Amino acid sequence: MNIRYYIDKPNATNETAIYLFVRNGKKKLKFNTGRKIHPKYWDISEQEPKKGYPSRTKLNVYLTNLKTDVINAIEDLVQKGITTLEEAKDKIATIVAGKDLQETKVDFLQAYDQFLDVYKATRSEATVKKYKTIKNHLESFAAHKRTKLSFETIDAAFQENFVAYLVHQAKLTNNTIARKLKFLKTFLHWATERGYNAKSDYRKFKQKEEKVDIVTLSYDELMSLYNLDLTEKPKLERVRDVFCFGCFTGQRFSDIAALQPEHIKGDKWHLHTQKTKDILSIPLNVFALEILEKYTSKGKKLPAVSNQKTNEYLKELGKLAGIKDLKTHVRYQGAKRIQKTRPKYKFLGTHTARRTFCTISLKKGMLPEIVMKISGHKDYRTFRRYIDLDNNVVDIAMNSAWSK
């Protein structure tokens, strides 16, 4: 008998089923192993996952053991006088089903580790780090409740208790909790697709997000920072330049930090974004080109330091640039209102640059569709969170559009 594996759709653009193929003469049978894999990870000649597939070892062990069990079962049947595939069909099907059932009984946290291994291959390091943070919260929650995490307990009561833990013990705001629940739902959906989770309660998990104030620089504040004389403070000067480059291009700090001189073609930045894998062509305005010329003319890249250090230095820079107007931030932690009123410079961070670009561009008359094309935003709902248009801008726009 010939026993081998093959994938259902070798030319598929997404995951496809792995089948066990058994042939005896002209008679042949096939059995769905319950496993899927993307064709790009499948070695047709070797009948196994290619090197580089995140769960290669685990899947190989499963397939090898399944094939061994089927071979042993067929040999036993032959010794009993059963020589046709039709007679062996039920026995093989039982082995395949039993093997799959045994394999799918995966512990919750073991499944989460598998999930992280898979996501490492296709997601940015920053995104994977967010999912690791969720796992840490889940483990801390289980320890706090003195319970064991399992797919069977992920229901409405779990959500209520987990959210209460994130509010009272982890001290997270409602919007942060809402984002974490979305990440958790992504994992649970992944686990459901692989047969690890049979409950669908998680699909209804939801946490209300409150509208929050965002921090952006006005054009005058940005120019004040851009023109600030930092000759005697070279470290701050480099941080300022990288931050302002973000304000002039609208791109994420991670992409700016990865910018290489060869990515610049004339007055365009050809960017392959790290987070979304998009390919963008960013037109560089005179200010952005001036900053680039300052470093690339010497064969250097933009001198980005770590996100954390940049955030620290930006507060010092904002103070030096006189960005001191009082700003009130309101957040909610459960029903608790958390209000902070501080000088604006204390709220500055790397994310402020991207928001500043979007807001100033709109105020200067750029169409939202054009700003989104440059910033890489795909939908207006997400883009809307990045803009800060005051009532004065709205009034001017109305009067301009409807003047006699």
pLDDT tens per residue across span 168-179: 999 999 999 999
d(CA 59, CA 273): 31
What 3-state DSSP class applies to 16? strand
Q: Output the pLDDT for position 101.
A: 46
The token pair that represents 375 in the structure block: 């910033």
CATH 2.30.38.10 at 219-401, yes or no: no
**Residue 27 in this model has a pLDDT that exceeds 80:** yes
Domain spans in the chain, listed from the N-terminal domain onward: 2-104, 122-204, 219-401
For residue 396, pLDDT over 70 is answered with no
Give dist(CA 34, CA 14) in Å, integer.
16
Residue given tokens 């709902």 in the structure block: 381
Position 99 confidence tier, pLDDT thresholds 50, 70, 90: low
> What's the pLDDT at 384?
81
Which phi and psi angles does 135 have, rounded to 5°?
A: -60, -40
pLDDT band at 383 (very low <50, low <70, confident <90, very high): confident
Residue 347 confidence (pLDDT) above 80: yes
Closest CA to 382 of 397, 368, 398: 368
Q: What is the H or E stretch that residue 43 is in?
A: strand 42-43
User: CA-CA distance, 23 to 29, in Å (whole number)?
Assistant: 6
* Cβ-contact 313, 239 below 8 angstroms: yes
Structure confidence at residue 210 (pLDDT):
82
Q: pLDDT value at position 178?
A: 95
Residue 294 pLDDT exceeds 80 = yes
DSSP at 215: -
Residue 390 pLDDT exceeds 70: no
Least confident of 12-26, 28-42, 189-203: 189-203
pLDDT of residue 394: 67
**Ordered alpha helix ranges (H), 121-233:** 125-145, 156-168, 174-193, 219-226
Is the C-alpha dihedral spanning 237, 124, 178, 133 positive or negative? negative
Residue with tokens 């692989």: 194
| One-letter identity of residue 371 | V
Only one residue has tokens 């904002």, namely 318
Q: What is the pLDDT of residue 167?
A: 95
Mean pLDDT of 201-210: 88
The string of pLDDT tens digits covering residues 229-273 is 999 999 999 999 999 999 999 999 999 999 998 999 999 999 999
Same CATH fold assignment for domains 122-204 and 219-401? no
Residue 240 sits at the vertex; the CA angle it makes with 255 and 216, to the nearest 5 degrees, is 75
Mean pLDDT of the chain: 88
pLDDT of residue 105: 57
- Architecture of domain 122-204 in this structure: Orthogonal Bundle (1.10)
Answer whether residue 278 shows pLDDT above 70. yes
Give dist(CA 187, CA 15) in Å, integer: 17
Rounded to whole angstroms, how far apart are CA atoms 52 and 39? 13
